Amino acid sequence: MPRGSSHVKFIPNYIGGEFTKGSREFPDVNPADGSVIAQISEADADLVDRAVQCARKALIGEWGRVGVRARAAMLRKVGEAIESRFDCFLAAEVADTGKPVSLAAKLDVPRAAANFRAFADLISTAGLESFQTETPDGKRALNYAIRKPLGVVGIITPWNLPLLLLTWKVAPALACGNAVVVKPSEETPATATLLAEVMQESGVPDGVYNVVHGFGPGSAGEFLTQHPDINAVTFTGESQTGAAILKTVADSVKPVSFELGGKNAAIVFADCDFEDTIAGISDAVFLNTGQVCLCAERVYVERPSFDRFVDSLKRKAESLRLGSPQDPVTEIGPLISKTHREKVLSYYRVARDEGATVVAGGGIPGFGNSLDKGYYVEPTIFTGLAESARCVKEEIFGPVCHIAPFDTEDEAVQMANDTKYGLAASVWTSNLKRGHRVAEQMNAGITWVNCWFLRDLRTPFGGMGLSGIGREGGMHSLNFYSELNNICIRL
């Protein structure tokens, strides 16, 4: 990768198989200490246009003639190449996000390789429906569908699981024969750019995978979604950004797939396996410093267990090791940015103003070293808020939850569903009949029983309400990233 000055890395765009410099640069900041780790090259409207044209050229060139078997083989190579450069991806992801190295090593990088493998397997075996048709007036026909690429897909992703979420979309898009232009988050550009090197090495033809860097409005994100020659947009990020993108693509009626925010509930019954539940809820609230769209920010606990649960989760929260992302024992890193920390701390203040009891945390930790310049906040637990409080209604996206008691199953279901979002929920009980009964009533795209963020890449993934449009995962991804052409042959 080309380098800028001798001190910081330079992160270029990747267009038509070439690492390309834009006209402006902006800094890539390490959230653990506020230091500048790289200069990122911003793509202007001309460069975004060039990326889209290169993608289109690839579709009518060599890539358009690559069959399913060869595509699957290429995706497997990409998965292997990610694994053989595991340490590079790990270092880049940890430096950009500030997430603990132990987490990125078990979650982000392995999932990126798994995403490519899963869609290589799926596209190799996926069939389509066919029907032998008999009409009322006696005609006979054979109907069958074939899968064609959508064309050029714009992929826009957030900063919380940068490589995992990018590859979750790139892998099925390429499996279906599309060419992509990706716009990773301005906060976390490194791994999308490293992936470009892997694409080159793995024989993916030039123009099939393009990366443009920059921001949303008035920058690469908006230039991409406004571009008349893209055929679809797939986006993961905030609900209000999804709304802005929907408006941008409305006039040209482009297909969209949106995975958006959440205000997810966890329901804990008194008969749960208590220790497992505390460990599970601690992950659900605090993993990745609470910056996972699936995180539980609302925890409802059956009243007989409420005091014990609050006390145990408090002890767990206070025992979590905050520290340098590079330290293998660190469990909690910083938030992504200064601005995001201000947002999270403003919710900590709002909660107090709304009358919350601060059970744990609520402030900024002190380290007495360079980490004090990082964007850390304490893992935080509130109780005592009304269900109408802003901190119970709005997505905070930090290491924080509110815990409220409930008396009946119906009351728990009603409180959990009282949200405009609908991404994920979890139910904790040793009564599996009840686990199913409650899960079935959740207004959510995904409900886990006695677990959280346990993923099978073949299952439908997405949200309802403000949490998204459509589902990806397994065949749902293949169906979004393809045009199905039904052919009817008169027999």
| 117/227 with CB nearer ligand NAD | 227
| Part of the chain binding ligand 6OH (CB under 6 A), chosen from 62-70, 188-196, 286-294, 443-451 | 286-294
Judged by beta carbon distances under 5 to 8 A according to partner kind, the member of ligand 6OH, ligand NAD, none in contact with residue 168 is ligand 6OH
Interacting residue ranges for ligand NAD, rule: CB under 6 A: 156-160, 165, 183, 185-186, 215-217, 221-222, 225, 236-238, 241, 244-245, 259-262, 293, 395, 397, 423, 463, 468
- Residue sitting closest to ligand NAD (CB): 216
Instruction: Choose, from 222, 259, 354, 395, the residue flagged as catalytic.
Output: 259
Position 314, amino acid:
K
Measured distance CA(446)–CA(421) in Å, rounded:
12
Judge whether 238 counts as a catalytic residue: no
The residue from 455, 458, 460, 475 that contacts ligand 6OH (CB under 6 A) is: 455
437 is a contact residue toward ligand 6OH (CB under 6 A): no
Start-to-end Cα distance in the chain? 57
Q: Which does 455 bind (CB under 5 to 8 A by kind): ligand NAD, ligand 6OH, none?
A: ligand 6OH
Tokens matching residue 388: 């109408």
Indicate whether 309 belongs to the interface with ligand 6OH (CB under 6 A): no
Nearer to ligand 6OH, 172 or 214 (CB): 172
Residue with tokens 């032998």: 132
Contacts of ligand 6OH in 126-155 (CB under 6 A): none
Q: How long, in residues, is the chain?
A: 491
**Neighbouring-strand partners of residue 358:** 382
CB atoms closer than 10 angstroms to residue 77:
18
Q: Which does 221 bind (CB under 5 to 8 A by kind): ligand 6OH, ligand NAD, none?
A: ligand NAD
Q: What is the DSSP string of 418-440?
A: -SS--SEEEEE-S-HHHHHHHHH
Least Å distance, CB 306 to ligand 6OH, is 28
Tell me how far CA of residue 250 lies from CA of 244, 245, 257, 322, in angstroms: 10, 8, 13, 44
CA distance 282 to 299: 11
- Pick the closer one to ligand 6OH by CB: 169 or 227: 169
Cβ proximity to ligand 6OH: between 209 and 452 the closer is 452
CB of 124 to ligand NAD, least distance (A): 26
Does position 294 bind ligand 6OH by CB under 6 A? yes
156 binds ligand 6OH (CB under 6 A): no
* Residue 229 structure tokens: 């020659």
Among 13, 53, 157, 160, binds ligand 6OH (CB under 6 A): 160
Q: Is 271 helix (H, G, I), strand (E, B) or coil?
A: coil
Q: Which of residues 225-264 bind ligand 6OH (CB under 6 A)?
A: 259
Nearest to 463 by CA among 477, 443, 448: 443
Instruction: By CB under 6 A, name the one of 103, 165, 224, 392 that touches ligand 6OH.
Output: 165
Active-site annotation holds for 401: no
With CB under 5 to 8 Å by kind, the binding choice for 185 among ligand NAD, ligand 6OH, none is ligand NAD
199 contacts which partner out of ligand NAD, ligand 6OH, none, CB within 5 to 8 A by kind?
none
Which one, of 336, 398, 329, lies nearest residue 102 by Cα?
329
327's torsion region: left (phi>0), alpha (psi -120 to 50) or beta? beta
- Closest-CA residue to 51 (of 282, 207, 274): 207
| Separation CA 387–CA 94 (nearest Å) | 36
292 lines the binding site for ligand 6OH (CB under 6 A): yes
State the binding partner of 380 from ligand NAD, ligand 6OH, none, CB within 5 to 8 A by kind: none
What is the dihedral sign for C-alpha 289, 188, 122, 425? positive
Binding mask 2-21 for ligand 6OH (x = CB under 6 A): --------------------
Q: Which run of H or E residues covers position 404?
A: strand 400-406
Name the minimum Å distance from CB 364 to ligand NAD. 21
Name the minimum Å distance from CB 104 to ligand 6OH: 14
Q: Are 203 and 63 in contact (CB under 8 A)?
A: no
Residue type (1 letter), 4: G
Q: How far is the CB of 364 from ligand 6OH (least distance, A)?
A: 24
**Calpha distance 112→231 (Å, rounded):** 25
DSSP 8-class letter at 216: S
Q: How far apart are CA 79 and CA 463, in angstroms?
A: 27
Q: Annotated catalytic residue: which of 272, 293, 391, 401? A: 293
Residues with catalytic annotation? 259, 293
Q: Which residues lie near ligand 6OH (CB under 6 A)?
A: 160-161, 165, 168, 259, 292-294, 455, 461
